[in-house]
Amino acid sequence: MAAPVRIFLLVLLLLGPGGWGRAEPPRDSLREELVITPLPSGDVAATFQFRTCWEWVSHYRLFPKALGQLISKYSLRELHLSLTQGFWRTRYWGTPFLQAPSGAELWAWFQDTVTDVDESWKELSNVLSGIFCASLNFIDSTNTVTPTASFKPLGLANGTDHSFLRYAVLPREVVCTENLTPWKKLLPCSSKAGLSVLLKADRLFHTSYHSQAVHIRPVCRNARCTSVSWELRQTLSVVFDAFVTGQGKKDWSLFRMFSRTLTEPCPLASESRVYVDVTSYGQDNETLEVYPPPLTTYQDVILGTRKTYAVYDLLDAAVVSNSRSLNIQLKWKRPPENGYIHYQPAQDRMQPHLLEMLIQLPASSITKVSIQFERALLKWTEYTPDPNHGFYVSPSVLSALVPSVVAAKPGDWEESPLFNSLFPVSDSSSYFVRLYTEPLLVSLPTPDFSMPYNVVCLTCTVVAVCYGSFYNLLTRTFQIEEPRKGGLVKRLANLIRRARGVPPL
């Protein structure tokens, strides 16, 4: 038994240094990408993705140290945080590449070495709150759930024990510049060069939809998956309103959308590309024209349909150097029933309701899920400062594997563009979609807070004075009684009075 082991060790020792010596020491890598998609409604969606891979576990080069330390301290396996303002209107805009509910959403998988998951979760949300300047510290047991079916690990995972998963949504969270700035600082080139130049806050927040997210997960380092590296994906999706930014026209350009053009690639990036969806939908006889004309195009099956993208590679000197800046312009020219139901009822002030259903939806049908609830009065300290605004109910989540119309060719995962590779696809005949509904504003019965003191005093006085007397009056009968011949005190007094010669009482 001993000999093979020794041989194996020997081989390892021999190969180890040799392996390192042959290739460059594996470095952290950065890929950045922007996808511009004209939407069916005439609006334009722009999706940024920045992917940083972390190979050295104790050395930080591109990977932000703040997040790296977070992973090791809380033994994270996966972390997904999204901050969203607005609501993706699937009916008008089609299926999104990246889905997020309105407000803040945080879900994380912990390593199975973590003993107290709830404690780690609480600390994690507090730390993230500080990193991203968001009110994630309001996540507590009352809005945290452990879904059992809908959320699976997106990265490498040995097992899926759902007790290590936590999920929370804060529907009321407002996303603003203060959240964007720390998010931009995590980028290796910050907003100095590359695609991140376009991230101007005043334009990004003049949009119909704004969603920024951070995804951390372990991925395979190579095709054979012999080693694991950490992947950080920072994504940002915005939808520009054609009516506000384009004065009703469907034409757009990078400058008109972002008030910036691309000047130079990020020197740290190994790949920096802009994809423009130039698929002609064949309706209304509309054709589109992209300027400058792209050098290459990319065709693939994205979300079940065949799409064509014009590709601009910023690292390709020809793209940028022509005019010292790249301003892409686009002009339009006119010519279930095997179910699974998991329900976890709420405990007042402890945990929320969780209802998960696995249902098969018939084609082109409307499915209505309705939940009956009772309105109740809260304790008076539990009302928010603006109780008449209403109380939010978190958006619900719909996850689905949708059969693809066109079979996608199984491509190399590492090589495919970032927008197409966040969600793992098991086979090519279907694609994964996750949709969120709008959050719901429910108005609860609210007392008039302007005069609680008056009301309490008045009510108590009325009850105290009237109730007792009326109760007496109604239940007792009154009879006149002749006064009896005195008590002990009176008799004593009369004795004294008699002794003094005064008439008795």
What's 392-405 look like in SS3? EECCCEEEEEEECC
Contact in structure between 216 and 71 (CB atoms under 8 Å): yes
Contact in structure between 341 and 147 (CB atoms under 8 Å): no
CB 232, min distance to other proteins, A: 27
Nearest CB to other proteins, comparing residues 284 and 386: 386
Other CB atoms within 10 A of residue 129 CB: 17
CB 347, min distance to other proteins, A: 26
CB 128, min distance to other proteins, A: 21
CB 27, min distance to other proteins, A: 40
CB 254, min distance to other proteins, A: 20
Nearest CB to other proteins, comparing residues 158 and 247: 247
User: Considering all CA atoms of the chain, what is the largest pairwise distance in Å, rounded to the nearest integer?
Assistant: 134
**Where on the chain is the footprint of other proteins (CB under 8 A)?**
84-87, 89, 91-92, 102-103, 171, 205-210, 242-244, 248, 366, 370, 386-390, 392, 395, 438-443, 446, 450, 465-466, 468-470, 472-473, 476-480
Give the integer Cα–Cα distance in Å for 107 and 127.
14
Secondary structure of residue 47 in the 3-state scheme: strand
Give the integer Cα–Cα distance in Å for 431 and 409.
12
CB 43, min distance to other proteins, A: 10
Angle (CA) 322-328-332 rounded to 5° is 130
Nearest CB to other proteins, comparing residues 103 and 304: 103
CB 432, min distance to other proteins, A: 23
Structure tokens at 34: 């922007």
Nearest CB to other proteins, comparing residues 249 and 498: 249
CB 172, min distance to other proteins, A: 9
Closest residue by Cα to residue 275 from 26, 47, 503, 473: 47
Secondary structure of residue 237 in the 3-state scheme: strand
Nearest CB to other proteins, comparing residues 172 and 331: 172
Give the integer Cα–Cα distance in Å for 368 and 406.
29
Give the integer Cα–Cα distance in Å for 108 and 119.
13
CB burial string 175-197: b at 16+ within 10 A, e below: beeebbeebbebbbbebebbbbb
Give the integer Cα–Cα distance in Å for 134 and 176.
9
CB 175, min distance to other proteins, A: 10
CB 480, min distance to other proteins, A: 6
Nearest CB to other proteins, comparing residues 239 and 310: 239
Contact in structure between 196 and 252 (CB atoms under 8 Å): no
Nearest CB to other proteins, comparing residues 101 and 218: 101
Nearest CB to other proteins, comparing residues 241 and 264: 241
Nearest CB to other proteins, comparing residues 92 and 340: 92
How many residues comprise the chain?
505
Give the integer Cα–Cα distance in Å for 275 and 255.
16
Contact in structure between 108 and 121 (CB atoms under 8 Å): yes
Nearest CB to other proteins, comparing residues 182 and 390: 390
Residue 500 is which amino acid? Answer: R
Contact in structure between 133 and 182 (CB atoms under 8 Å): yes
